[in-house]
Amino acid sequence: MSLFAAFAALRQIVARTADPARNQPAAPSPSPVQPAASQRPTAIGPQGLHLIKQFEGCARRLADGKFEAYPDPGTGGEPWTIGWGATGPGIRPGTVWTKDQCDARLEADLVRYAADVARALGQSPVSQAQFDALVSFHYNTGAIARATLTARHKAGDFAGAAHEFARWVRAGGKVLPGLVRRREAEAALYRVSS
């Protein structure tokens, strides 16, 4: 053993004897209790993704495998839609995307819509199934921040919130059968754990 190593070992011995508390094993720390908010969903789950894809469809596939923008079924025009229900700037008649572009846009949109839902719910308890149903609803309507459905959920009136889905079945002033089916599916998913 070198003189330096011996000196370092001697210092450790002296330090332990000078402060016996340092030589005691640490008391086991209690297991942390996770606050409910940390267990709250922040991303859409597989059931919600399936529901959105089922009702949005990746429509207007061209012969070359790409996808073309199509008019809103309620208005017959604006907002133009492409892929998995994407709308917004740059999407107009003649817009064409690849399947990869459609998938990437859906993924990015779902991150944004899930964040909107989480923000609108605040600290209200929510199950994954409820969260998924609300993300699907918001993805289709953009109304999570103003819907009575959200207010009822936040008040803990889950049965009342589930009934509110049925109010959102119109587009362009008309009741659309596709929206009726979608709201029924969202309400059914919402009820899974409420």
56 is catalytic: yes
- Two tokens, residue 60: 């207007």
CA dihedral 138→62→89→87, nearest 10 degrees, is -10
- Contact predicate 165/137, CB 8 Å: yes
What angle separates helix 177-191 from helix 46-56, to the nearest 10 degrees? Answer: 170
CA atoms of 99 and 84, how far apart (whole Å): 10
| Candidate list 56, 68, 107, 186, residue with the active-site label | 56
63 beta partners: none
User: Residue 166: which of 135, 142, 188, 145 has the closest Cα?
Assistant: 188
Burial class of residue 189 in the structure, from the number of CB atoms within 10 Å of its CB (0-12 exposed, 13-18 middle, 19+ buried) = buried
- Contact predicate 168/178, CB 8 Å: no
User: Residue 114: which of 89, 86, 88, 138 has the closest Cα?
Assistant: 138
Query: Tokens 């149903």, residue?
Result: 133
Q: Which residues are identified as catalytic?
A: 56
